[in-house]
Amino acid sequence: MKKVFLCEYIHPDAYELLKNHVDIIHSWEEFPEADAMINRNIKMTAELFAQTNKLKVIGIHGTGTDDVDLEAAFEKGIDVFSVPHVNARSVAEMNMALMLSLGRKIILSDRMLKSDLPEGFHSMLQGTEFYGKTLGLIGLGDISMKTAQICRLGFDMKVIAWSRHFDKVEAEALGLHLYSVMDRVFEEADIVMIGLNLEKSTRKLIGKAQFEKMKKDAFLINTSRGAIIDEEALYCVLKERGIGGAACDVFEEEPLKPSNPLLTLDNFIATPHLGANTNEALRNVGMAVVKGILKRLNIME
């Protein structure tokens, strides 16, 4: 029977499907025996691949493959695949949760209530109404498109965007106004949401130059990949009140250390990569990656 290495959580329904068709191994001592593995957050390096000549398939429990040394995997003949799109609805809803939390200062309110409310707290907690505002999307993947739909239908928001892959005609057919220059989105949007894959060309793509173009009361939200944003530049602009606030579900280094200076700011919200951490998304992703593994191992059609 084929062996699949799994040392991270997957949804119980997906685990049951996997267990019915293969031997599941969990310890790193058994890793060299694995025919395939399911990966969520493990850094897959050439050094790790050197431990095995049997591994043929890596299934990414999610969208991004940036945790895998793809060149090293190719050299070893390992098939690496991901399961994009199936968790997009949950991440889009996370975008909305962070947007509303920033605009209505939910987290700051909670912190104040758990201590002594300062005098004049009502003015400190004055919020923002999003109806009719402008949403700016950097990247137009499935998550961004679902976020745009919620914002248009629920908040009557204007949606502007920058994308490396869409053209203006395609975007306008979807109710979006596409700019060819990314900076235009930062200049005009009331809320900028990042929706890019992490590649060499997007690493620290968003930094001081873009933040300086944003409105003083604009918000920034990132639920894609942490390394797309220059975190030091983000800290500086938030500390100086150069923008209204920011919320990040992803960071360059995860898990985020408590010593990260961003956590000292009252206009910043941090969550520990929870965008796709819903029962529905975990089941959808888990089932998709397990079926992908079984298909590539010639166990299931």
Report domain 3-84+279-296's class. alpha beta
Query: Would you state the pLDDT for residue 52?
Result: 95
For residues 119-143, average pLDDT = 95
Instruction: Report, as residue numbers or ranges, the catalytic residues.
Output: 225, 254, 273
Alpha-carbon gap, residue 39 to 37, rounded angstroms: 6
Distances (CA, A) of 149 to 99, 165, 222: 15, 19, 18
Element (DSSP H or E) covering residue 93: helix 88-103
Overall fold of domain 88-270:
Rossmann fold (3.40.50)
Over residues 18-51, the pLDDT tens digits come to 999 999 999 999 999 999 999 998 999 999 999 9
Alpha-carbon gap, residue 260 to 257, rounded angstroms: 6
Q: Is pLDDT of 166 > 90?
A: no
Q: Is pLDDT of 280 > 90?
A: yes
Q: pLDDT-derived band of residue 201, with 50, 70 and 90 as boundaries?
A: very high
Ranking 47-61, 79-93, 168-182, 245-259 by mean pLDDT, the lowest is 168-182
Over residues 263-274, the pLDDT tens digits come to 999 999 999 999
Query: Where exactly are the structural domains of the chain?
Result: 3-84+279-296, 88-270
Helix (H, G, I), strand (E, B) or coil at 23: strand
Q: Is pLDDT of 290 > 90?
A: yes
For residues 241-257, average pLDDT = 97
Domains 3-84+279-296 and 88-270 share a fold: yes
Question: Which one has a higher pLDDT value, 232 or 164?
Answer: 232
Q: List % helix, strand, coil for the chain (3-state, nearest 5).
A: 40, 15, 45
Report the share of the chain in percent with pLDDT over 70.
Answer: 100
